[in-house]
């Protein structure tokens, strides 16, 4: 379900597998499915605070604070956009554009989906670039500047490139939703941290062509 990538007195950094939620959830008559946060707490015996969250389908870097002070400092850094985040995604559709900004207010649609509006009152903001993996498959590197629900998924759908496996937003069915939290950089108590976690789960993320495509992305 996860592996610990980095341990610090003030926080843990995990690699979350796809298909696990951040928090406990009701699963029909079967009861409760334990989410990532409580699972790690049970395994480690630590009191942990999720500083940010990933969608259930998204794999990769998750930051959990170990103290209330670290949680406050890191949460404020996220809110102030002082944390740099980079995600990787795959799509098998031809995009309207291959790089640039995606901006717009997020509006609720049907069935719990979100829509990207043309208004900019409180917009979701993402920058992205991309590179071809092979014919019919493209790798996207996304740098979200805000942290809205389903922001990256909606942003890529808005340019005509829904994420492979993200059927909620029109993506082609696949063995997983191909969205991965790749890199995270921040400063805590004056100390900088640069963390990276290459994607490994999913048949398309495991190909040599994908590895080669990632190396072509400039940081």
The pLDDT tens digits for 54-110 are: 999 999 999 999 999 999 999 999 999 999 999 999 999 999 999 999 999 999 988
pLDDT at residue 23 tops 70 = yes
User: Which pLDDT score, from 0 to 100, does residue 168 have?
Assistant: 96
pLDDT bin (cut points 50, 70, 90) of residue 1 is confident
Domain boundaries in the chain?
2-215
Give yes or no for a contact between 19 and 165, defined as CB atoms under 8 angstroms apart: no
Give the DSSP per-residue string, 32-75: EEP-HHHHHHHHH----EESS---TT-EEEEEEESSHHHHHHHH
Query: Could you tell me the pTM of the whole model?
Result: 0.94
Q: Which residues are catalytic?
A: 55
Residues 2-215, CATH architecture: 2-Layer Sandwich (3.30)
């Amino acid at each position: 379900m996860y592996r610990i990538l980095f341990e610090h007195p003030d926080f843990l950094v995990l690699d979350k597998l796809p298909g696990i939620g951040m928090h406990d959830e009701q699963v029909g008559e079967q009861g409760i499915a334990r989410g990532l946060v409580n699972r790690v707490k049970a395994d480690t015996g630590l009191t942990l605070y999720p500083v940010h969250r990933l969608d259930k389908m998204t794999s990769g870097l998750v930051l959990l604070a170990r103290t209330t002070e670290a949680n406050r400092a890191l949460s404020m850094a996220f809110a102030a956009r002082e944390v740099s985040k980079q995600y990787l995604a795959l799509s098998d559709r031809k995009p309207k554009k291959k790089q640039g900004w995606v901006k717009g207010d997020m509006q609720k649609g049907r069935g719990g989906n979100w829509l990207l509006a043309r208004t900019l009152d409180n917009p979701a903001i993402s920058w992205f670039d991309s590179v071809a993996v092979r014919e019919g498959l493209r790798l996207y590197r996304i740098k979200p500047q805000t942290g809205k629900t389903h922001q990256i998924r909606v942003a890529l759908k808005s340019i005509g490139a829904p994420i492979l496996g993200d059927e909620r937003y029109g993506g082609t069915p696949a063995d997983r939703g191909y969205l991965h939290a790749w890199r995270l950089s921040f400063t805590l108590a004056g100390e900088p941290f640069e963390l990276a976690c290459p994607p490994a789960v999913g048949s398309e993320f495991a190909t040599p062509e994908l590895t080669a495509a990632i190396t072509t992305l400039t940081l």
